[in-house]
C-alpha cells in the first residue's frame, strides 16, 4: 500500500471527516472509496491508454 499526501480545502476535509465518522469508518477508508468510485467512473480513460 502506498501513502499519498493530498491537499484539500479545509471545508472539504471537515465534511469528509464528518461523513466518515457518521459512517463509522476512517477518513482514509472514506477517501480510498472515493478514489475507487472516481476510477470506476473514469475507466474509459484508462481503456483509451491501452489502445495507444
pLDDT (0 to 100) of residue 16: 98
pLDDT computed for residue 50 by the predictor: 77
Work out the burial of residue 27: count CB atoms within 10 Å of its CB; fewer than 13 is exposed, 13-18 middle, 19 or more buried. middle
Task: Assess contact for 30 and 20: CB atoms under 8 A.
Answer: yes
Residue 52: its pLDDT value, please?
A: 62
pLDDT tens, residue order, the chain (52 aa): 999 999 999 999 999 999 999 999 999 999 999 999 999 999 998 888 876 6
Cell 470506476 belongs to residue: 40
d(CA 20, CA 28): 9
pTM of the model: 0.83
Amino acid at each position: 500500500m502506498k501513502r499519498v499526501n493530498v491537499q484539500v480545502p479545509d471545508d472539504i476535509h471537515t465534511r469528509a471527516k464528518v461523513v466518515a465518522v457518521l459512517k463509522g469508518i476512517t477518513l482514509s477508508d472514506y477517501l480510498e472509496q472515493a478514489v475507487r468510485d472516481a476510477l470506476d467512473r473514469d475507466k474509459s480513460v484508462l481503456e483509451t491508454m491501452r489502445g495507444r
